[in-house]
Structure 1
Amino acid sequence: MAGHSQFKNIMHRKGAQDAKRARMFAKIAREIIVSARIGADPSANPRLRAAMAAARAANMPKDNVDRAIKKAVGGEDTANYEEVRYEGYGPGGTALIVESLTDNRNRTASEVRSAFTKCGGNMGETGSVAFMFDRVGLIQLSKTVGSYDEVFEKAVEAGADNLEEGGDFYEIIATVDNFAAVRDAISQDYEDISESKLVWRPQNTIAVDEEAAQKILKLIDTLEDNDDVQNVYCNFEVSEDILAKLSN
């Protein structure tokens, strides 16, 4: 188990904390605001649909979603958010990609660099580790929607590359070019999509011991605590035994 799915599973097992949930809601609201500025009709705006799906998966109150859309449409939120990607190396020779939505590039760059330094990592230039990852579309569904064979067949028919299992979820993988078509086809078969977005998937993973895993998780956690950081991806891998220890 590795990277994006692994970290999410660890955090799910640790349980939601109020402070983390509040930060998560704030990040989703920011994504909704940016998305809604493109167009407030989710049926005509795939990015907004994905943001709203993320809100539902996080049990974000509908009032919060409506307020975020209203802020965008009514011009109440005047911040000029930019999408900025940061890259660097973490403990154990691991590589990380950090995606942000920020209204102050200098502030965010300084804070992200500080997080890398304090947690035993080193922030690099843009492109320094991206070549170790593939940019793909990911659609996540709860396993309660049906059997693996059933979902696999529908995913392949829709044009997906693969269907993988991660914890309690199925993960449909598609190329960037096919992602929108696959997402729209899958959403017609399954309403309860918990996640739908472009992600960075490591081409290869680096096995780390418990000590390095703890440091990597601390770095990821520190980055995730930053209001401007939307997503963090890492190419680390740990054994099931270490995963169980970290999850307790």
Structure 2
Amino acid sequence: MSGHSKFKNIMHRKGAQDARRAREFAKIIREITVAAKTGLPDPNSNPRLRAAVAVARSINMPKDNVDRAIKKAAGTGDGDNFVEIRYEGYGPAGVAIIIEALTDNRNRTASEIRAAFNKYGGSLGELNSVSFMFERCGVIIFSSNVADYDTVFEAAIEVEADNVERVEDDYEITCAMEKFFMVRDALETKFKEPKSAKIEWRPMNTVVLDEDNAQTLLKLIDTLEDSDDVQNVFANFDLPDELAERLSV
């Protein structure tokens, strides 16, 4: 199990379904708010907002919730003013971790993240202290029922995507960050709306963990993901399949 491809599943391992759903909704509402405020409040003219709305649909967020968030962000400036912050540090066994946050209180967020690192034997570093171990790339996921692999592969390569992989029941398409919106829009035209489309941090190398370090790291990630301010967590770890299955990751 690789850290870069499984983080979206970590928060689903614990807690009641309603609590998870509420956290997911809160996080995507923040992203929609920021996207609408930093660009046009029209998904058709704002690529970041369109991506956020697609994620909202993928987690079955009611359309009324999405529309209210966009209207609120496009209004007179009332409501929370979120800022984007990236944190970087090291977890157990020297695993490099990147956290993307949207917050209306920098001090609160920094305090929560620092406390999580300290609790689980990690250390919060300076900006760019670990990001050189990752590359930024676009990741677009379609259900495998949109077409056969060869058709998707040919369409992706035609629009200059880097790779297409079959991951369980999905196709995962990766591309250079600067080509992300072009690739996503072209594939969306051909295969309809993707299940998700994001810019992610992908590790260039991974650290293989034993069970003790894996358990501690997963607790750290759970704690980080539980924060309302944290949007995404990326790390350069890998687990042997047998260990990943035993830990139910």
> What residue number does 1:115 align with?
116
Q: State how far apart, in whole Å, the 2-side matches of 1:211 and 1:77 are.
A: 47
8 Å contact kept, 1:133–1:201: yes
8 Å contact kept, 1:14–1:247: no
- Structure 2 CA distance for partners of 1:124 and 1:145, relative to 1, 3 Å: same
Identity of aligned residues (%): 60
1:86 correspondence with 2:87: yes
Q: Which moved more, 1:182-191 or 1:75-84?
A: 75-84
- Structure 2 CA distance for partners of 1:16 and 1:141, relative to 1, 3 Å: farther
Shift of 1:54: 0.6
Shift of 1:87: 0.2
> What residue number does 2:6 align with?
6
8 Å contact kept, 1:55–1:65: yes
> What residue number does 2:148 align with?
147
Instruction: Count residues in correspondence.
Output: 248
Q: State how far apart, in whole Å, the 1-side matches of 2:138 and 2:170 are.
A: 15
> What residue number does 1:132 align with?
133
> What residue number does 2:242 align with?
241
8 Å contact kept, 1:10–1:247: no
Q: State how far apart, in whole Å, the 1-side matches of 2:16 and 2:202 are.
A: 25
Q: State how far apart, in whole Å, the 1-side matches of 2:198 and 2:10 are.
A: 20
> What residue number does 1:104 align with?
105
SS of 1:31's equivalent in the other structure is helix
Q: Which moved more, 1:225-234 or 1:64-73?
A: 64-73
SS of 2:44's equivalent in the other structure is helix
> What residue number does 1:26 align with?
26
> What residue number does 1:55 align with?
56
TM-score by length of 2: 0.93
For 1:169-211, what per-residue CA distance to the aligned partner results, in whole angstroms no more than 9, with x for missing partners?
2211111121111011011012231211211000011111222
Shift of 1:11: 4.8
For 1:36-73, what per-residue CA distance to the aligned partner results, in whole angstroms no more than 9, with x for missing partners?
12211111100000000110111111121111112112
- Structure 2 CA distance for partners of 1:75 and 1:89, relative to 1, 3 Å: same
Q: State how far apart, in whole Å, the 1-side matches of 2:42 and 2:122 are.
A: 41
Q: State how far apart, in whole Å, the 2-side matches of 1:84 and 1:167 are.
A: 32
Q: State how far apart, in whole Å, the 2-side matches of 1:176 and 1:113 are.
A: 29
- Structure 2 CA distance for partners of 1:162 and 1:14, relative to 1, 3 Å: farther
Give runs of aligned pairs for residues 155-234 of structure 1, distance below 5 A.
155-234=156-235
8 Å contact kept, 1:140–1:170: yes
8 Å contact kept, 2:89–2:130: yes
8 Å contact kept, 2:208–2:239: yes
For 1:123-168, what per-residue CA distance to the aligned partner results, in whole angstroms no more than 9, with x for missing partners?
1110110000001111111222222222111111111011123333
Q: State how far apart, in whole Å, the 2-side matches of 1:228 and 1:220 are.
A: 14
8 Å contact kept, 1:88–1:122: yes
Partner amino acid for 2:24?
M
Give runs of aligned pairs for residues 55-74 of structure 1, distance below 5 A.
55-74=56-75
Partner amino acid for 1:19?
A
Q: State how far apart, in whole Å, the 2-side matches of 1:112 and 1:70 are.
A: 31
8 Å contact kept, 1:10–1:243: no
- Return 5+ residue gaps in structure 2 as ranges: none
Partner amino acid for 1:239?
P
Shift of 1:77: 4.1
8 Å contact kept, 2:11–2:225: no
Shift of 1:15: 9.0
TM-score by length of 1: 0.94
- Return 5+ residue gaps in structure 1 as ranges: none
8 Å contact kept, 1:53–1:195: yes
